[in-house]
Amino acid sequence: MRRLRSDNGFALIELLVAITIAAVGLVALAGTFDTSRSSVSESKEMQAASHAGQDALEQVMSLGYSSIALNAAPAASTDQYDPNYFVAGGPPPAYRWNGPTGGSNTEPLVIDTTVGFSSGPLAWGNSRYGGSIYRYVTWACDTAVSGATGCPATNDYKRVTVAVTLKTQTTRRRPIFFQSFVSDPNAGPKP
């Protein structure tokens, strides 16, 4: 018996399966693209935050040594995502300089109400992303110079810490910390 028509082409069931696979695939691909897009966006934000942090650090470091100080102690925070979380009330007011790495060592904040600058927060960023910058200056004691008995009481040089926070994302991120030292260029020999 002769076949009346060819069996080439799609059966309805085949078409449905293909559409289903394509739909699932497209959804997965869309998810991948979305993940990539948000990852790139987050990376851009982090990079911008890094630049903002470095700029802020360099601005502080470029001040005259005596001007590198806060004008007031920042208020401590209980929010561990807030850089002020590491502020210790004192007296004297202090900062947990190695708090970002889980440490508990504090150093007194350098406060000068006349020439000091505000700890912050200072806004950074643009319409797409941004956050806040916090600045801290503490007195570091150097046991190589002041000895074990002289530390931590001696003020050898200043530690500058800059923390950069990002605008709230889907998951909160800890601040990015930058840190360096600045020493008195006029420091003379140890008596």
The SS3 assignment for 77 reads: coil
Contact residue for other proteins among 74, 83, 93, 99 (CB under 8 A): 99
- Classify residue 15 by its DSSP letter: H
HSE-CB of 64 using CA atoms within 13 angstroms: 5
Q: By CB under 8 A, is residue 66 in contact with other proteins?
A: no
* Other Cβ atoms within 10 Å of 120 Cβ, number: 21
Alpha helix positions (H), 2-158 = 12-61, 143-150
CA distances from 117 to 13, 84, 168 (A): 72, 16, 26
Among 122, 129, 157, 173, binds other proteins (CB under 8 A): 157
Instruction: Point out which residues pair with 11 in neighbouring strands.
Output: none
Pick the piece of the chain touching other proteins (CB under 8 A) from 115-123, 124-132, 165-173, 182-190: 182-190
CB of 1 to other proteins, least distance (A): 29
**178 touches other proteins by CB under 8 A:** yes
Q: What residue ranges bind other proteins (CB under 8 A)?
A: 10, 14, 17-18, 21-22, 25-26, 29, 32-33, 35-37, 39-40, 42-44, 46-47, 49-51, 53-54, 57, 61, 96-101, 103, 105, 142-145, 156-157, 159, 161, 176-185, 187-190
